[in-house]
């Protein structure tokens, strides 16, 4: 193994994907599950965890701004029993094992099911329904509203102020993935704030303004605080932009999620990028061996790490993911071709669900 290498795993809390195993467990059981998860990751050689602490404008920590998450306690707005602050606990346990703790926020997702709102009156969807847009069965905060960007920045900055986290981490959800034939309902916001820009440029600008503001805010609180983004694996296809990758991604960061992550790297607004390269070598539309060097060539003296699709192995009975070969090949390529970088596995509990041997490798 290289001496210096980021080796992380995502721990997803939304829908109880990784932790806790179900909502409403007693505090001691939640803590025991988290300790077991960390011990397993430490034994595998991981030196960082990326833990989702804000899945849907709610909190896995004691917040005066947003309610406790029902994925944690079983009821939105209800504190753990007996009481403890999971974020203090998780950060301490990670640091005891010399692991970095990256606090993962989902900036705009507000409801997993737009038809069901079990939130208390304090939730942002109750206080500011005019800030929300329902799309594809979920509800989102509208990134085009300046107060929304300020609100999300204040939520994240509050955590940076009060907790000993090592980084702020955002995933790929900025504007939502397109639903064919259905426009995202921000026409009124665009009419109000569009200022003569094309719709696409205005949306991209909204996300870029948020990233610049967030970076500025957290660096003012703690100059050493890292900001990392884990975007969808294709920035743009070469067919749309000569600087894009030789890929045929159906949706891309720039054109569909309105996330100009390359610009953010160029401007130094983020400290690391972790593109989600969940495809195998020689994939017909987005091959790992095309995308990995493409991203490395666009790091602009920032850190570049790679998100690897461990989950692809969980039910694979045939094809490239049916054995450990593909994942190990990807790790070898990263080490040989992109020195001083690293990778992160999605997601932590998949190590227990993979059929064949992987942990020993």
DSSP-assigned states of every residue in 126-151: HH-GGGEEEETTEEEE-TTSHHHHHH
The residues pairing with 345 across neighbouring beta strands, listed in sequence order, are 9, 308
pLDDT of residue 276: 98
Classify burial at 158, counting beta carbons within 10 Å of its beta carbon; exposed 0-12, middle 13-18, buried 19 or more.
Answer: middle
Longest dimension (CA), the chain: 57
How far apart are the C-alpha atoms of 140 and 106, rounded to whole Å? 10
- The per-residue pLDDT string of the chain (361 residues; one tens digit each, 9 = 90 and over) reads 788 899 999 999 999 999 999 999 999 999 999 999 999 999 999 999 999 999 999 999 999 999 999 999 999 999 999 999 999 999 999 999 999 999 999 999 999 999 999 999 999 999 999 999 999 999 999 999 999 999 999 999 999 999 999 999 999 999 999 999 999 999 999 999 999 999 999 999 999 999 999 999 999 999 999 999 999 999 999 999 999 999 999 999 999 999 999 999 999 999 999 999 999 999 999 999 999 999 999 999 999 999 999 999 998 999 999 999 999 999 999 999 998 999 999 999 999 999 888 888 8
Who contacts 320 (Cβ-Cβ below 8 Å, separation ≥6)? 280, 281, 326
How far apart are the C-alpha atoms of 51 and 41, rounded to whole Å? 13
Q: Where are the beta strands (DSSP E) in the chain?
A: 6-11, 48-54, 100-105, 109-111, 132-135, 138-141, 167-170, 226-229, 272-273, 276-277, 303-304, 306-308, 342-345
> What token pair was written down for 71?
């994925």
How far apart are the C-alpha atoms of 161 and 63, rounded to whole Å? 12
How far apart are the C-alpha atoms of 85 and 59, rounded to whole Å? 10
3-state DSSP: the chain helix, strand, coil percent, rounded to 5?
35, 15, 45
pLDDT of residue 2: 85
> What token pair was written down for 1?
């193994």
Who contacts 291 (Cβ-Cβ below 8 Å, separation ≥6)? 233, 234, 245, 247, 275, 277, 279
> What token pair was written down for 119?
């939130």
pLDDT of residue 3: 82
Classify burial at 180, counting beta carbons within 10 Å of its beta carbon; exposed 0-12, middle 13-18, buried 19 or more.
Answer: exposed
pLDDT of residue 114: 97
> What token pair was written down for 128?
């500011």
């Amino acid at each position: 193994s290289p001496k210096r290498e980021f080796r992380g795993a995502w721990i997803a809390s939304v829908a109880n994907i990784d932790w806790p195993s179900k909502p409403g467990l007693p505090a001691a059981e939640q803590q025991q599950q988290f300790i077991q998860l960390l011990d397993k990751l430490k034994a595998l050689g991981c030196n960082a965890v990326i833990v989702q602490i804000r899945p849907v404008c709610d909190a896995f920590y004691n917040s005066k701004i947003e309610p406790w998450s029902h994925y944690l306690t079983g009821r939105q707005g209800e504190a753990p029993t007996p009481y403890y602050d999971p974020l203090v606990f998780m950060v301490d346990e990670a640091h005891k094992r010399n692991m970095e703790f990256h606090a993962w926020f989902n900036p705009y997702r507000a409801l997993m099911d737009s038809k069901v709102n079990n939130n208390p009156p304090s939730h942002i969807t109750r206080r500011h329904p005019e800030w929300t847009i329902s799309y594809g069965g979920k509800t989102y905060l509208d990134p085009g509203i300046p107060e929304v960007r300020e609100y999300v920045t204040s939520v994240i900055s509050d955590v940076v102020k009060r907790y000993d986290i090592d980084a702020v981490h955002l995933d790929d959800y900025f504007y939502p993935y397109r639903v064919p034939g259905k426009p995202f309902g921000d026409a009124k916001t665009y009419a109000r704030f569009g200022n003569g820009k094309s719709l696409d440029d205005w949306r991209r600008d909204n996300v870029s303004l948020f990233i610049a503001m967030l970076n500025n805010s957290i660096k003012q609180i703690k100059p050493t605080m890292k900001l990392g983004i884990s975007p969808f694996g294709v920035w743009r296809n070469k067919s749309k932009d000569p600087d894009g990758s030789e890929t045929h991604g159906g949706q891309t960061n720039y054109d569909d999620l309105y996330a100009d992550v390359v610009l953010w790297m160029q401007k130094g607004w983020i400290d690391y990028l972790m593109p989600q390269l969940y495809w195998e070598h020689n994939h017909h539309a987005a091959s790992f061996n095309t995308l990995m060097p493409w991203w490395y060539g666009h790091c602009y003296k920032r850190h570049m790490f790679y998100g690897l699709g461990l989950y692809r192995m969980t039910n694979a009975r045939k094809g490239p993911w049916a054995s450990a070969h593909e994942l190990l090949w990807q790790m070898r390529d990263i080490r040989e071709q992109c020195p001083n970088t690293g990778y992160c596995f999605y997601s932590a509990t998949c190590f227990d669900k993979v059929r064949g041997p992987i942990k020993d490798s």
